[in-house]
Amino acid sequence: MTAGETGRGLLELTRPVNVIAASVLTFIGSFVAGGLAEKPLATATAVGATALAVGAGNAINDYFDREIDRINQPERAIPRGAVSPRGALAFSLLLFAGAVALAVTLPTLAIAIAAVNLFALIAYTELFKGLPGLGNALVAYLVGSTFLFGAAAVEEIGPAVVLFVLAAVATLTREIVKDVEDIEGDRAEGLNTLPIAIGERRALTVAAGLLVVAVVASPVPYLRGDFGLAYLVVVVPADAVMLVAAYESFADPSSGQSRLKYGMFLAALAFIVGRGVRALPISL
């Protein structure tokens, strides 16, 4: 295996798209809290810590999941031999160390969130992944908490709380659908995920019900007066995309969970638009 192939394998372990996505969510949390203009350095530090932590979490997840991935994802870096298990573990620890070094420079609440999240990232695969619903809920918390972390970094967490709740519920839906997609490999590994415990269709019904709750709650920032009409203009199409994705998941879980991701990002965009328009002299 050449150095170039190993380097590409290490990069793959971090899931660059997921790293960028999580970093953007942290940025949005800070932006919604008004921190971009007031505390740009804290915002940048929080984004950097998120990127390193997510990359580390993905790498260590692949380390622990290497046997499952031989069935579900044989093209990943460890199963195909681009990176050794020991190399993946060492790389993950290095990234974790960088994340900690950045996080400890932030305010106390942000440090607390980072500490909980770092523990959760490390413990997820070994302690929580195979427990019906609990592993899904932990991932949902981690995604939603990126908004809280960005807001806590600039010491204005209030505006991001609703965003955290909506993102966590939408992510929980997507995680359940992904478990339906991965049921063959999870069953072979002896995991007891929600679709295995209660059946695929019931699990999808639970996922769809959760998403409906999130959609119903999505107008709350508008009703509270946090954002104006511009927020609704963007969040309504996002809700529609996610509802269609939930329905589609019953026939094609792979396509449904992928579409859910797009809907979630569109919903996050609604908060950016809502905050940006609110900052203008004349708001919609």
Vertex 69 angle, CA 1 and 60, to 5°:
75
* Per-residue pLDDT, 158: 73
CB 167 within 8 A of CB 264: yes
* Per-residue pLDDT, 282: 44
Quote the number of domains for the chain: 2
Is residue 132 located within the same domain as residue 194?
no
Is residue 99 located within the same domain as residue 223?
no
CATH number at residue 199: 1.20.120
First to last CA, the chain: 57
* Per-residue pLDDT, 185: 78
Count other C-beta atoms under 10 Å from residue 209's C-beta: 11
CA distance 24 to 59: 19
Is residue 2 located within the same domain as residue 130?
yes
10-residue block means of pLDDT along the chain (284 residues)? 81 92 91 83 95 92 84 85 90 94 95 90 70 83 92 85 86 88 79 86 92 88 84 92 90 85 86 71 45
* Per-residue pLDDT, 281: 47
* Per-residue pLDDT, 236: 93
* Per-residue pLDDT, 226: 77
Is residue 1 located within the same domain as residue 88?
yes
Residue 165 to residues 170, 215, 248: CA-CA distances in angstroms? 9, 11, 24
Which residues span the domain enclosing 259?
Answer: 157-279
**216: which 2 tokens?**
């119903």
Is residue 10 located within the same domain as residue 58?
yes
Is residue 131 located within the same domain as residue 262?
no
Count other C-beta atoms under 10 Å from residue 202's C-beta: 12
Q: Is residue 284 part of a domain?
A: no
Look at residues 98, 128, 155 and tell me which one is the last residue of a structural domain.
155
Of 27, 16, 14, 29, the closest CA to residue 168 belongs to: 29
